[in-house]
């Protein structure tokens, strides 16, 4: 497997992406090559600093421009043709790499992937699938932020893609698909949600279980939760922020007296396990589904450990040949629509 890594993307670049490379070279033997895309001098300096020797599993690909957070996604791609994200996506487009991984500007990664790789047939827009933690098992939140304005048919495509990911990559049998709403009752929802619910009910091959609400997400989530990218991004970030805040408050509370300090020290193993369970670092990245290619988007603040996990996610997505499965599932949906149309007509 060959992966193109946007070494300059993220709040702690190039340090953390290269830290991820170091871990991945040891742990992920299935990786034949990582293309290190970015400013060669900065990459080489970081390799020296972290003691990463050059090998035939690494290849530096020059990209001199850097995307700023103030750039729009489209500008980043159109005006910065020599940026690390556009060059990295080019490697996938040219067939040199099987997947691209970036912790940089999400809009730029989405736009570069969309323009250069294009979507799979009959997929109108790619969607970000976030692998979310819960008390029981991880679940797929789709769309976690690619399309803030979605139409019902986009959400149906999200459901099909998310279901394919849950089945073929996460290994879920007949994955349950829920529709994000403000209540579990069928009449709850905004206009987009209600219209989508009607379509999902008649989508073949989907195990649609109806509306889910915020209360369901942590205890008994379905395998896949479908929503527009505005709502999904808010769920993702609110959850991350709250989990982070809870740990910060617990730490502060525990440090306040000698008694609680000792208690905290003894209880530490319990906290560590929960921190691991709720941390976005474990998934490491989020696949951008619906592309004619594989793009994994990582958190801007991703640690070296998270970057390694994002590289692992790229490997998993390659290994399970996800895209042909998505194409097949969309095909079933279209055939059904066509025959339904004939019956109606």
| Interface positions with a second copy (CB under 8 A) | 69-70, 72, 134-135, 145, 148-149, 180-183, 185, 187-191, 193, 213-219, 228-231, 233-246, 248-250, 253-254, 256-257, 259-260, 262-271, 273-274, 277-278
- Residue pair 25/31 in contact by the 8 Å Cβ criterion: yes
User: Cβ 331 to a second copy, closest distance in Å?
Assistant: 30
User: Cβ 153 to a second copy, closest distance in Å?
Assistant: 17
Give 72 or 339: the residue with its C-beta nearer to a second copy.
72
- Angle of the 15-27 helix axis to the 304-319 helix axis, nearest 10: 50
User: In terms of Cα–Cα distance, which of 93, 110, 125 is closest to 330?
Assistant: 125
User: In terms of Cα–Cα distance, which of 96, 48, 68 is closest to 8?
Assistant: 68
User: Cβ 130 to a second copy, closest distance in Å?
Assistant: 12
User: Cβ 289 to a second copy, closest distance in Å?
Assistant: 18
Q: Which helix (H) or strand (E) holds 329?
A: helix 322-344
Q: How far apart are CA 345 and CA 326, in angstroms?
A: 28
- Which residues are paired to 58 by β-bridges? 34
Give 219 or 343: the residue with its C-beta nearer to a second copy.
219
Give 29 or 251: the residue with its C-beta nearer to a second copy.
251
Q: How far apart are CA 8 and CA 326, in angstroms?
A: 31
Give 265 or 341: the residue with its C-beta nearer to a second copy.
265
Give 53 or 259: the residue with its C-beta nearer to a second copy.
259
Structure tokens at 40: 């060669």
User: In terms of Cα–Cα distance, which of 160, 128, 161 is closest to 143?
Assistant: 128
User: Cβ 261 to a second copy, closest distance in Å?
Assistant: 8
- Residue pair 235/227 in contact by the 8 Å Cβ criterion: yes
- Residue pair 36/43 in contact by the 8 Å Cβ criterion: yes
How are beta strands 58-62 and 99-102 bridged, if at all? unpaired
- Residue pair 311/3 in contact by the 8 Å Cβ criterion: yes
Give 124 or 149: the residue with its C-beta nearer to a second copy.
149
Give 69 or 328: the residue with its C-beta nearer to a second copy.
69
Q: How far apart are CA 59 and CA 320, in angstroms?
A: 25
Distances (CA, A) of 334 to 151, 160, 194, 342: 17, 11, 21, 12
User: Cβ 53 to a second copy, closest distance in Å?
Assistant: 37
Please name the residues in contact with 250: beta carbons below 8 A apart, sequence gap of 6 or more: 264, 271
Structure tokens at 264: 């905290």
User: Cβ 110 to a second copy, closest distance in Å?
Assistant: 12
Give 220 or 337: the residue with its C-beta nearer to a second copy.
220
Give 94 or 185: the residue with its C-beta nearer to a second copy.
185
- Residue pair 203/331 in contact by the 8 Å Cβ criterion: no
User: Cβ 292 to a second copy, closest distance in Å?
Assistant: 25
CA atoms within 13 A on the CB side of 14: 26
User: Cβ 156 to a second copy, closest distance in Å?
Assistant: 18
């Amino acid at each position: 497997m060959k992966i193109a890594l946007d070494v300059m993307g993220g709040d702690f670049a190039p340090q953390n992406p290269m830290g991820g490379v170091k871990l991945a070279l040891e742990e992920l033997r299935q990786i034949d090559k990582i293309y290190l895309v970015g400013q060669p001098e900065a990459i080489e300096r970081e390799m020296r600093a972290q003691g990463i020797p050059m090998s035939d599993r690494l290849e530096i690909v020059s990209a001199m421009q850097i995307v700023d957070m103030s750039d729009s996604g489209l500008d980043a791609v159109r005006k910065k043709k020599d940026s690390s994200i556009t060059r990295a996506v080019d490697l996938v487009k040219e067939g040199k790499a099987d997947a691209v991984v970036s912790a940089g500007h999400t809009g730029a990664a989405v736009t570069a992937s969309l323009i250069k790789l294009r979507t799979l047939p009959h997929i109108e827009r790619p969607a970000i699938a976030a692998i979310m933690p819960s008390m029981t098992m991880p679940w797929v939140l789709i769309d976690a932020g690619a399309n803030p304005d979605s139409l019902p048919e986009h959400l149906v495509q999200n459901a099909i893609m998310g279901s394919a990911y849950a089945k073929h990559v996460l290994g879920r049998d007949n994955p349950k698909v829920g529709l994000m709403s403000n209540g579990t009752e069928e009449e709850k929802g905004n206009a987009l949600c209600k219209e989508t619910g009607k379509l999902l009910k008649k989508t073949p091959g989907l195990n649609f279980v109806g509306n889910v609400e915020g209360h369901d997400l942590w205890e008994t989530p379905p395998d896949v939760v479908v929503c527009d990218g505005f709502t999904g991004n808010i769920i993702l970030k609110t959850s991350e922020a709250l989990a982070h805040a809870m740990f910060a408050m617990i730490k502060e509370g525990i440090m306040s007296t000698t008694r609680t300090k000792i208690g905290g020290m003894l209880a530490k193993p319990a906290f560590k396990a929960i921190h691991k369970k709720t941390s976005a670092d474990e998934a490491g990245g989020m696949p951008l589904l619906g592309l004619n290619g594989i793009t994994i988007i990582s958190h801007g603040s991703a640690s070296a450990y998270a970057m390694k996990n994002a590289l692992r996610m790229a490997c998993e997505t390659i290994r399970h040949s996800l895209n042909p499965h998505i194409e097949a599932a969309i095909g079933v949906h279209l055939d059904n629509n066509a025959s339904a149309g004939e019956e109606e007509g």
